[in-house]
Amino acid sequence: MTATSAEVLDRLDAIRVWPYRRRVLAVLGAAYFFAFYDIVNIGDALPAIAKQFDLSSSTSAQAISIGLLGNIVGSLAISVVADRYGRRLAWTIALVMLVIGSLIIAFSGSFTMLLVGRFLCGMGIGAEIASAAAYLNRISPTRLRGRAGCEAAVWGYVGFAITPFIALALVPNFTDGWRVMFLLAAVGGFAVLPFRAKLPESPRWLAIKGREQEALAVIEQAESFAAAQGPPPEVEQLKPAITRRPFGVTALLFFVIWLIYYVANYGWLTLAPTLLTNQGFSLTTSLSFVCVTGIGLVVGAAASVRYSERFERKFMISIGLLLFAAAMIVIGLFPVGAVIATFGFIASMTTGFAVPLMYVYTAEQFATARRARGVAVGGGLGHIGGAAAPLLILPAAAASFFAGVGVMALASLIAAALVLFGQRMTGRAQ
């Protein structure tokens, strides 16, 4: 790295307040919103899809698995584009895949066509999340990267929380209500595309590509905007940078963490309506439970913003995953309405708290030059766990409801332990 590049990064890290217009976080928040909306809409629609195409629960759940496989392909492919050519092209491709995939699902005449659309939609989701997480980590001053990442991810959890309410209004009441859910995703995704062209390029990425003058221009604008916000707050000195582990070692660790955790995460977020209807609750009642518990996602995500920089992130993540496991065990032991609503809310709240921190924590483990690829291998390739979730949880749930949610609890416990093997990066210079 040249002296000029080092100067660029030092000047970025010296900024103490968010140095960009709020629309930057708003656009990133929209990326998370529609990506997360598209993650869970398939689960809420699944009982109606199974009925319309005359499918069993295990067969219809293929739509979840193939979407998550698409997520893996999309995140890995787009990470190479993002690292080599920047985020503008990467995000445009991601959004186009998401929109086209949603449209195919909305107008699918067969389950096979629906699976094709879901794979393409999954590619877009994976590409969106990998690009957004890496980009936020690249443009943020070190002291603010946790808060900025969590603040953008809050809007993803708003998407998670809103989706069941939309499903409750559409799916039980209209034969093709589930199709409208995907049409809304396509329209919303298309609407945000023009706003992305105005986002600043990452000064870190420009610097490592040898485009120091462009990077300095971005930094100068950021410094000017930050200065206009008034006196900066007093902050602690940055901790010295540490030597990162080899890329392969870190990528393997975070692949395993996300692989195992996604069994729990996607089990709860996408299979809850199916598990609850199989347990004897009506579709309307099951979606009502999901609506109530989903509010916890937003509460937890808001808490992650507040505490993202106060404590070492890996410890907060581990505590959140432990609480999720405890909530799942209680739900499995006492599957009645009040318990499901209360502890489902707690489970969702811990998910909303831990996952934004995990996105930030995963991204900061990797050097800038390979950050998007690192996130893609961890959070992207790790979606194999989410794709496998129906294959693990539904057979277990066929034996007993407790066994089904017990799989989620066990996966979360293992992930909570593995997170502790990551390096301490909170407050450290990049």
SS (H, E, C) the chain: CCHHHHHHHHHHHHCCCCCCCHHHHHHHHHHHHHHHHHHHHHHHHHHHHHHHCCCCHHHHCHHHHHHHHHHHHHHHHHHHHHHHHCHHHHHHHHHHHHHHHHHHHHCCCCHHHHHHHHHHHHHHHHHHHHHHHHHHHHHCCHHHHHHHHHHHHHHHHHHHHHHHHHHHHHCCCCCCHHHHHHHHHHHHHHHHHHHHCCCCCCHHHHHHCCCHHHHHHHHHHHHHHHHCCCCCCCCCCCECCCCCCCHHHHHHHHHHHHHHHHHHHHHHHHHHHHHHHHCCCCHHHHHHHHHHHHHHHHHHHHHHHHHCCCCCHHHHHHHHHHHHHHHHHHHHHCCCHHHHHHHHHHHHHHHHHHHHHHHHHHHHCCCHHHHHHHHHHHHHCCHHHHHHHHHHHHHHHHHCHHHHHHHHHHHHHHHHHHHCCCCCCCCECC
| Higher local confidence (pLDDT), 405 or 205 | 405
Closest Cα to residue 383, out of 286, 295, 265?
Answer: 265
* Distance (Å, whole) CA 128 – CA 5: 28
Question: What percent of the chain clears pLDDT 90, i.e. is strictly above it?
Answer: 23
Predicted local confidence at residue 146, as pLDDT: 74
Residues 166-181 have a mean pLDDT of: 88
Mean pLDDT of 115-124: 92
Highest mean pLDDT: which of 15-29, 110-124, 352-366, 369-383?
110-124
Residue 198 maps to a domain: yes
The answer to whether position 300 is within a domain reads yes
User: Distance between CA atoms of 347 and 323, rounded to whole angstroms?
Assistant: 7
What are residue 239's DSSP bridge partners? 428
Lowest mean pLDDT among 89-98, 360-369, 372-381: 372-381
**What average pLDDT does the segment 330-338 reach?**
91
Residue 78 φ then ψ, to 5°: -75, -25
Query: What confidence score (pLDDT) does residue 427 get?
Result: 55
**pLDDT band of 95, cuts 50, 70, 90:** confident
Handedness of CA 369, 375, 378, 384 (dihedral sign): negative
pLDDT digits 0-9 by tens, 266-287: 888 778 888 888 888 887 788 7
Q: Residue 141 and residue 122: Cα distance in Å, rounded?
A: 31
Average pLDDT of the residues in 164-169: 84
Cβ neighbours of residue 359 under 8 Å, at least 6 residues apart?
129, 133, 149, 153, 375, 379
How large is the average pLDDT for residues 351-376? Answer: 81
Residue 117 has pLDDT above 90, yes or no: yes
Q: What was the pLDDT predicted at 87?
A: 66
One-letter identity of residue 217? A
| Span 57-62, average pLDDT | 81
Look at residue 427 and tell me if it is in a domain: no
For the cut 80, the answer to whether the pLDDT of residue 199 exceeds it is no
Angle at 137 between CA 136 and CA 143, to 5 degrees: 110
Convert the pLDDT of each residue in 30-40 to its tens digit. 878 888 888 77
Q: Residue 403 burial (CB < 10 Å; 0-12/13-18/19+)?
A: middle
Res. 260 pLDDT band, cuts 50 70 90 = very high
What does the pLDDT read at residue 205?
75
Res 77 pLDDT > 60: yes
Per-residue pLDDT averaged across 74-90, rounded?
73
Residue 301 lies in a domain: yes
% of the chain residues with pLDDT over 70: 93
Write down the mean pLDDT value for the chain.
Answer: 83
* Burial (0-12, 13-18, 19+ Cβ within 10 Å), 416: buried
Q: What pLDDT is stored for residue 153 in this prediction?
A: 77
Tell whether 234 is covered by a domain.
no
Q: What CATH number did the domain enclosing 103 receive?
A: 1.20.1250.20
**Confidence band of 1 (pLDDT split at 50, 70, 90):** very low
Q: What is the pLDDT of residue 429?
A: 54
Convert the pLDDT of each residue in 230-255 to its tens digit.
666 665 565 666 777 888 898 899 99
Question: What total of structural domains would you count in the chain?
Answer: 1
| 3: pLDDT strictly greater than 60 | no
Highest average pLDDT, of 75-84, 139-148, 176-185, comes from: 176-185
Residue 25 lies in a domain: yes
- pLDDT of 292 higher than 70: yes
424 inside domain: no
Do 129 and 381 form a contact (C-beta atoms < 8 A)?
Answer: no
Alpha carbon distance 288, 341 (integer Å): 9
Q: Which residues pair with 428 in a beta bridge?
A: 239
Q: Are 134 and 9 in contact (CB under 8 A)?
A: no
Q: Are 89 and 403 in contact (CB under 8 A)?
A: no
Q: Which of 197, 397, 172 is nearest to 279 (CA)?
A: 397
Q: Which of 215, 414, 409, 422 is nearest to 312 (CA)?
A: 422
Question: In this structure, is residue 35 part of a structural domain?
Answer: yes
Please tell me the predicted confidence (pLDDT) of residue 68.
79
Domain around 270: 9-228+245-419
pLDDT digits (tens, 9 = 90+) for 204-223: 778 777 788 888 888 888 88
- Compute the average pLDDT of residues 20-28: 81
Q: Band of the pLDDT at 368, cuts 50, 70, 90? A: low
pLDDT at 343 over 90: yes
